[in-house]
A and B are shown apart, each in its own frame.
Chain A
Amino acid sequence: MEFRKTHRRTKRLLGTQHRSHAIAAICLLAASVVMVAGCDRPSAGAETPTRGMSLQQISKLPPSADDADKARLLHPIQYSTPQTPRVATDQVDALGHPITISCASCHSNFSERTPVVSAEKLQAFHVGLKFQHGSPNQQLTCLTCHHADNYNYLRLADGQPVEFRNSRSMCAQCHAAQDRDYEHGAHGGMNGYWDRVQGIQVRKTCIDCHDPHSPQFPHMLPNFKPLDRFLEPSLHHNQHEQKH
């Protein structure tokens, strides 16, 4: 009950933020349109300006003084947003659609809050779940990330509920370096456009690549190899090693 109250308060706050954000966004958009109208793509000249520069010099180039450059209309980055998980039942509704239930359907009935550290101990449900997250000396439990009062939510370290769609903010509590890299496009990869003036950039989120219960990136088996002449079996590295 306490949680629900808190949550409603958060929601109301969020609502006001949304309104002010929307107003700010409209103002920004209008300003950008006015500024962009008068300018084309920034032209740094046809010459190659970094020619002859060292790596250090390139990385220390001053920010462009061209304000119009900043005002370019950029396409949004489309982030992947995880859904709140639903559990499948083997029943269908009147229209024949499969019935799914929320996590809270079961979990809100449990009064016991034992911090489970190993999925192997789970007998009734979640059988076969591989749980391997965190090092042995900082053992994580289900309730480290799942909200004990409402299983439709995740929880931050301070107990604040987080929606599944915002799970990245929860991951970032421990994996700050990765989150920072992700923020700058240096982690997680992307699809679409590098030039956001021309198109939308699509980004994955943490759990698209990492299983949250067992986040170690999986091992893989390469299945494509160019057939170079110097890679013929007689010169194959492994066989070469075996001979010696």
Chain B
Amino acid sequence: MSQEQDTKNRDSNSETPQKRAGMELPILGQVSRRTAIKGAAAVAGVAALGVAAAPMLQKTAELSAAEFMQRHFKELTDEDKRIIFERLENEAQEKYDAEVQIGDHPPIRGVRFGYAINLSLCNGNGKCMEACHRENNHDRATQQSYIRIFEMPVGTTDFEQGNTSYDHEVPQKSHYYLPVQCFQCDNPPCVSVCPVEATWQESDGIVVVDYNWCIGCRYCMAACPYHARRFNWKEPEIPADEVNPDQGYLSNRIRPQGVVEKCHFCLHRTRVGKLPACLEACPTGARIFGDLMDPDSNIRWVLANKRCFTIKEELGTKPMMFYFFD
């Protein structure tokens, strides 16, 4: 009922009290329902304010400001984010002497990412690992990367029989090469174990980590059945001229020490329409990336026309990384 109608009704009611009698008992001093609700809301509001303010009142000297903020937080506004990104950019300038741009890349609406790897083409040359290393500002000393390639004997997907440290000519006879990275599971066990909700799944399926929220407990690393997560044992060391300046808050910005990180399908690239770095680097063309919701996408064609499988399907993690031979 619109305001105008409401007013008109009330006016007509005041003119004809007998009509009104049918709607409301004419008891003197009765508090109307409207007033009662208003009053109740006011009381509830004051109470809620009290509850909300209670921690403020309980704040003691030993509780640091950062700790306080971690217990009582609000959603960041765009302005808040801008300030944070600026601070992080300044930190990168100070620590690494590199001018970087940190962006907030929201998921594209209606897009859900899928990745496929043609194991008949992959020859284990490791260019994807190297591209990941450079794109994602990994520590140079440990040559960290989100990808590992297993050299597997033909006829099994048992990782116990695989070897990631091969350093001979590839491909070897009666072996195949199985690149493994975060599968962006639709039922991610790493997310549900996080005690502080520092990792979550976004609407395009990418499981992200807030490196400033992570407490480094590494539960998620234990929960992941694919060894997809990495821990920053030390602060990454990267020469200034090798820092990738195109950074995202939830992706490849230089991570602090003591936090967990993982493949994020290069979201700072893929969420602006670009292909992931590992795909572009692959000299064999084994990698296929795209939008699962687009019926004309390459990834959908692969799913419909190749015999795809996922790794450790029996665990019910529903990976979004599909493998196939052809």
Interface on A for B, CB 8 Å cutoff?
41-52, 55, 58-64, 177, 181, 184-195, 197-199, 204, 209, 217, 219-228, 231, 236-238
Task: Provide the bound-state CA to CA distance between A197 and B274, in Å.
Answer: 11
Interface contact B284-A194, CB-CB below 8 Å: no
Q: Give me 8 A-to-B residue pairs in the complex whose CB atoms sit less than 8 angstroms apart, sorted by A's number.
A: A47-B203, A51-B186, A58-B303, A64-B295, A184-B302, A191-B280, A194-B291, A222-B170
Query: Which of chain B's residues have a CB closer than 8 A to the CB of A197?
Result: 273
Interface contact A188-B285, CB-CB below 8 Å: yes
Residues B272-289 near A (CB distance < 8 A) = 272-275, 279-280, 282-289
B40: min CB distance to chain A, Å: 34
**Choice from A63, A194, A223, A224 contacting B295 with Cβ under 8 Å:** A63
Interface contact B171-A219, CB-CB below 8 Å: yes
Query: Which of chain B's residues have a CB closer than 8 A to the CB of A41?
Result: 108-110
Query: Which of chain B's residues have a CB closer than 8 A to the CB of A47?
Result: 203
Interface string of B123-151 (1 = CB under 8 A from A): 11111011001000000011111001000
Q: B298 at interface (Cβ–Cβ under 8 A)?
A: yes
Q: B205 at interface (Cβ–Cβ under 8 A)?
A: yes
Task: Provide the bound-state CA to CA distance between A192 and B280, in Å.
Answer: 8
Interface on B for A, CB 8 Å cutoff?
108-112, 114, 116, 118, 121, 123-127, 129-130, 133, 141-145, 148, 163-171, 186, 201, 203, 205, 270, 272-275, 279-280, 282-298, 300-306, 308, 310, 318, 322, 326
Interface contact A225-B125, CB-CB below 8 Å: no
**Choice from A48, A186, A189, A220 contacting B203 with Cβ under 8 Å:** A48
Query: Which of chain B's residues have a CB closer than 8 A to the CB of A186?
Result: 116, 118, 288, 298, 301-302, 306
> Given contacts A51-B186, A220-B123, are A192 and B274 in contact (CB under 8 A)?
yes
A-B contact count (CB 8 A): 170
**Choice from A52, A59, A190, A217 contacting B279 with Cβ under 8 Å:** A190
Interface contact B166-A237, CB-CB below 8 Å: yes
> Given contacts A46-B203, A186-B306, A222-B125, are A194 and B290 in contact (CB under 8 A)?
yes
Known: A44-B110, A51-B186. 12 other contacts (CB 8 A): A43-B109, A48-B205, A58-B292, A62-B295, A181-B326, A189-B285, A193-B274, A193-B275, A225-B143, A226-B142, A227-B141, A237-B165
**Choice from A60, A185, A222, A224 contacting B298 with Cβ under 8 Å:** A185
Main secondary structure of the interface of B (DSSP, over half): loop
Main secondary structure of the interface of A (DSSP, over half): loop
Task: Provide the bound-state CA to CA distance between A238 and B163, in Å.
Answer: 9
Interface contact B186-A227, CB-CB below 8 Å: no
Task: Provide the bound-state CA to CA distance between A194 and B300, in Å.
Answer: 13
Interface contact A224-B129, CB-CB below 8 Å: yes
Interface contact B273-A225, CB-CB below 8 Å: no
> Given contacts A63-B295, A237-B165, are A50 and B112 in contact (CB under 8 A)?
yes
Query: Which of chain A's residues have a CB closer than 8 A to the CB of B292?
Result: 50, 58
Query: Which of chain B's residues have a CB closer than 8 A to the CB of A64?
Result: 293-295
Residue of A nearest to B275 (CB): A194
Interface contact B166-A224, CB-CB below 8 Å: no
Task: Provide the bound-state CA to CA distance between A190 and B297, in Å.
Answer: 14
Interface contact A225-B302, CB-CB below 8 Å: no
**Choice from A42, A220, A227, A231 contacting B169 with Cβ under 8 Å:** A220
Interface contact A223-B126, CB-CB below 8 Å: yes
Task: Provide the bound-state CA to CA distance between A198 and B280, in Å.
Answer: 17
Query: Which of chain A's residues have a CB closer than 8 A to the CB of B142?
Result: 226-228
Interface contact A59-B300, CB-CB below 8 Å: yes
**Choice from A190, A223, A236, A238 contacting B275 with Cβ under 8 Å:** A190
Query: Which of chain B's residues have a CB closer than 8 A to the CB of A204?
Result: 285
Query: Which of chain A's residues have a CB closer than 8 A to the CB of B301?
Result: 184-186
A162: min CB distance to chain B, Å: 23
B173: min CB distance to chain A, Å: 11
Interface contact B298-A198, CB-CB below 8 Å: no
Task: Provide the bound-state CA to CA distance between A28 and B236, in Å.
Answer: 52
B54: min CB distance to chain A, Å: 34
Task: Provide the bound-state CA to CA distance between A189 and B280, in Å.
Answer: 7
B49: min CB distance to chain A, Å: 31
Task: Provide the bound-state CA to CA distance between A244 and B8, in Å.
Answer: 95
Greatest chain B CB density within 10 A among A45, A50, A60, A209 is at A50
Interface contact A192-B169, CB-CB below 8 Å: no
Interface contact B110-A43, CB-CB below 8 Å: yes
Residue of A nearest to B288 (CB): A186
A228: min CB distance to chain B, Å: 8
Query: Which of chain A's residues have a CB closer than 8 A to the CB of B295?
Result: 61-64
Query: Which of chain B's residues have a CB closer than 8 A to the CB of A44?
Result: 109-110, 293
Task: Provide the bound-state CA to CA distance between A43 and B275, in Å.
Answer: 21
Interface contact B118-A199, CB-CB below 8 Å: no
**Choice from B288, B298, B322 contacting A55 with Cβ under 8 Å:** B322
A152: min CB distance to chain B, Å: 29
A236: min CB distance to chain B, Å: 6
Query: Which of chain A's residues have a CB closer than 8 A to the CB of B280?
Result: 189-191
Interface contact B275-A49, CB-CB below 8 Å: no
